[in-house]
Structure 1
Amino acid sequence: MTSETTAVHSPQLDTILMVESFIKEHSGEYRRRALWENLPRKMMYQTFSTIIAYLQDSGKIAVDADKKICWIYNPELIKRYLANTDLKIR
């Protein structure tokens, strides 16, 4: 291990779930920094950024035209589309 190696810290599951829950409740209300400042528990911004990146990559959140974070994940809608035989996945 060299001195250039940096320690990678992964957020704990309870922290990720807390951020998810907060975004669901306040979808479309906050921009990134304001969302971080209003979370029920404080955390490092780097940890928050890691969680936001994960939620975006997994298709659970999106950023709208005003740069506000919105919850978009809807598993029931996905199930309905997958059950519809008239629709095809390309």
Structure 2
Amino acid sequence: MPGCNQGSHSPQLNTIQMVEEFIQEHSGEYKRRALWENLPKKMMYQTFKTIIEYLEESGKIASDSRGTICWIHDPDMVRKYAMREDLRFR
């Protein structure tokens, strides 16, 4: 089909949410490959990599110097600072 990216695949929302929840519950326990191997539902590694890249770019996860994945997103803190009139988002 012209104009379609063959080989690119966007993960479904429920799959992204499952990975997010698993990382939140196991923050700091697994490196990337072990995290993928221990997910409650199996998926292709390429799909997993796409989700991990999205979560890193959106500031929800980070990895330490050993490669361990940690959940860093704090929506309560975001709300707290968003309500301050002396701060602006750009």
TM-score normalized with structure 1 length: 0.85
**How many pairs are equivalent?**
88
What is the CA–CA distance in structure 1 between the aligned matches of 2:89 and 2:6, rounded to whole Å? 41
Runs of at least 5 residues in structure 2 that lack an aligned partner in the other structure: none
Matches within 5 A, 1:62-73: 62-73=62-73
The range that moved more, 5-14 or 46-55, is 5-14
Q: Which residues of structure 1 form unaligned runs of 5+?
A: none
- Is 2:68 the partner of 1:79? no
Could you tell me how far apart the structure 2 residues matched to 1:87 and 1:65 are? 32
Q: Give the % identical residues.
A: 62
Report Cα offsets for 1:34-67 as digits up to 9, x if no partner.
Answer: 0000000000000000000000111100111221
The alignment's TM-score, normalised by the length of structure 2, stands at 0.85
The residue number in structure 2 matching 1:61 is 61
